Structure 1
Amino acid sequence: MSKTVGAEPVNSIYQWLPSAIDTRIRVVAWLSLVSEIVIVGTGGAVRLTGSGLGCPTWPNCVAGSLVPSQEMGLHGVIEFANRLMTGLIGIIAIAAVVLLWRMRKERKDLFVLAVILGGGVLAQALVGGVTVLTGLNPFIVGFHFTVSLIMVCLATVLVHRVYLAPGPRALVVPVGFAGLAHATSFVVALTVMMGVLTTASGPHSGDAAAGRTGFNAELLQHLHAWPGYATLVLTIVLLAASVRSKLPVRPFIVTLLLIELAQIAIGLLQANLGLPPVLVGLHMVLACVLAAAMTAVVLNLKAPAGVTADLPAAEHERMLG
């Protein structure tokens, strides 16, 4: 009797879990994406306020205490708040895994993404610890930001797929257009990576005692800008082609273009105003939004195979080039 009674709550919880994609899963997917972007903003605040060593140890904030002491002041509060944000992302990741547990076989793609995002939280926590323990080594800090960008892209994939039926997918754009879109994504990645290196060589180290890469920051600003302008040109070409052929990916390209224009404007402003922290932080956050938008463009080059099967034969042949 006790076994039966004990099994009832477990069975009730299992029955409560979604057996199909519902609002709960979609909300958690969006929370995952938003939180992955927000933590870049809080991490940027840590760096731009010189609070990188506000918690000088890890995993504790100060020796013998998980939370900052009064002596650490505002810097300790800012750094600890960023660590708490990591915990929030971890809770969201666990929620995604739990909600998808019942569908782990039918929607293996979503479950695997949720597990990877959860593992990414642990990895980021460890990298954050190494960052602190190495005294904010600029290359480790840059790697920390790069992993955050990857997490943003993966969360974007999760959001995209919770709105799609499972199964094979096929191109809904011409092959040449798809190739150009992938080339644009490569240039976007190059632009962001050059931005990471430029920031690692600039004045915002996160702490007065933290080292820099030793590279020429002014030269890197130009090397960062060139692929940025190339991305803009490629995106304009993509938009023109998508408008001319009335491709379904057009709204996502418009979004990508608007983000790029904002990034270029902010980049020029911060370079000419002496790198004010607010603009630098906004530039960092928009880099994540840019990565998410580019990922969305690439994802929407394809649709479930049934969509393309409904197209007229002539239209399908045109898309295949």
Structure 2
Amino acid sequence: MSRLDRLRERWPVSPRVHAYAAWAALVLFTLIIISGAAVRLTGSGLGCPEWPRCNGTSVTPSDGHAYIEFGNRMVTTPVSIAAVLCLVFALLRRPYRKDFTVLGALLVAGVAIQAVLGGITVMTGLNPFTVMSHFLLSMVTLVIASLLVWRVVRERRAQSETPSHDPLLVGLVRALTVFGGAVVFIGTAVTASGPYAGGEGTDDTVSRLTLFGDDTFNDIITWHARVAMVFGIAAVALWLFARLRGARALLWPLTAVCVLVAITGAIGTLQYHILDYPAWTVWLHVSSVALTWNALLWSWLAAGRPERAAEPVAPAPPPREPATV
């Protein structure tokens, strides 16, 4: 018996306890995206201009914007604990599953990489490309956390982890998710070229994304709005298609996608066309995007794999005629 087997015998973890850790990781990985957006939108991105220290020889903050930036760093602590618990509980759970251990290890690795990338973001003075990478990596960690929660929930319900649906429907759900990822990517470019560089509160000059010159922000936000509108129409069309095909298991996640896309679009219209882009609306927009991404991932998982066509049954051989004497 290996040492791990002995530990599992001594401190067994039930699937229920492991499920609690998985749900906590998904919630916390979502919340840290929201808190990170608050840091940027309050102009506190360089409140702690050093890493891992906050300022000079001090690890702790000393003023308002430093407290905001340091607070976001501290959110990493419960996120890290949840990720480590997912890994430890996966190793000790009974029955043991290797895929849960792999997903737990990926969550821990994601936290470590995010911490390093966050430090690089600060040390490069909030370079727009590192800020975009920081956000996009957060979306990748949500993929891992969502997959873990999905498998844990399906196992506890004794349901198949990869349901099967109409091949066309499965392909469309996957295409919609990839399309949503593209919309998110363009959205990061909007923020990277927009007025909230993250250093306003500390009077730091932060470079902006200028791919198209001085009009980069207006150009990218126009393209983002158009692509997002097409995405919203596609989401509603896919919901109708799933309903016509009778895919009841897909209706709930796709309904969540449609509702959240509508909310996100309404916030986007409010922030850009009515209220002249105030910071609090951008924060609501980012928060809604994180929730929409979770709903898209759940839709992908609920779609499962294309169902196989039924193999044709060979016709029965004709009955043999009785032999004549």
RMSD of aligned residue pairs (Cα, Å): 2.5
What is the percent sequence identity of the aligned residues? 32
The aligned counterpart of 1:28 is: 21
- The answer to whether the Cα contact below 8 Å between 2:12 and 2:94 also exists between their aligned partners in 1 is no
Displacement of 1:171 after TM fit?
4.6
What are the equivalent positions in structure 2 for 1:18-57 lying under 5 Å apart?
18=13, 20-22=14-16, 24-57=17-50
- 1:126 is matched with which residue: 112, 116, 122? 116
- The answer to whether the Cα contact below 8 Å between 1:138 and 1:200 also exists between their aligned partners in 2 is yes
The aligned counterpart of 2:219 is: 219
1:163-197 C-alpha deviation (Å, 9 max, x unpaired): 12399855522101111111111210111100000
- Looking at structure 2, the residues matched to 151 and 239 of structure 1 have their Cα atoms a distance apart, in angstroms, of 26
- The answer to whether the Cα contact below 8 Å between 1:51 and 1:206 also exists between their aligned partners in 2 is yes
What are the equivalent positions in structure 2 for 1:1-321 lying under 5 Å apart?
14-18=9-13, 20-22=14-16, 24-69=17-62, 73-103=63-93, 106-165=96-155, 170-208=162-200, 209-215=205-211, 216-247=216-247, 248-272=249-273, 273-302=275-304
Q: Which runs of 5+ in 2 are unaligned?
A: 312-325
Q: Which runs of 5+ in 1 are unaligned?
A: 1-6, 315-321
- The answer to whether the Cα contact below 8 Å between 1:36 and 1:148 also exists between their aligned partners in 2 is yes
- Looking at structure 1, the residues matched to 163 and 45 of structure 2 have their Cα atoms a distance apart, in angstroms, of 45
- Looking at structure 1, the residues matched to 252 and 39 of structure 2 have their Cα atoms a distance apart, in angstroms, of 34
The aligned counterpart of 1:4 is: none
Q: TM-score scaled to structure 1, two decimals? A: 0.86
- The answer to whether the Cα contact below 8 Å between 1:194 and 1:224 also exists between their aligned partners in 2 is yes
Displacement of 1:233 after TM fit?
1.5
- Looking at structure 2, the residues matched to 253 and 45 of structure 1 have their Cα atoms a distance apart, in angstroms, of 28
- The answer to whether the Cα contact below 8 Å between 2:162 and 2:301 also exists between their aligned partners in 1 is no
Displacement of 1:78 after TM fit?
0.3
Q: TM-score scaled to structure 2, two decimals? A: 0.85
Displacement of 1:104 after TM fit?
9.1
Displacement of 1:108 after TM fit?
1.4
- Describe the shift of the 1:34–1:213 C-alpha distance in structure 2 as closer, same or farther (beyond 3 A): same
- Looking at structure 2, the residues matched to 170 and 89 of structure 1 have their Cα atoms a distance apart, in angstroms, of 28
**The structure with more radius of gyration:** 2
Aligned residues between the structures: 296
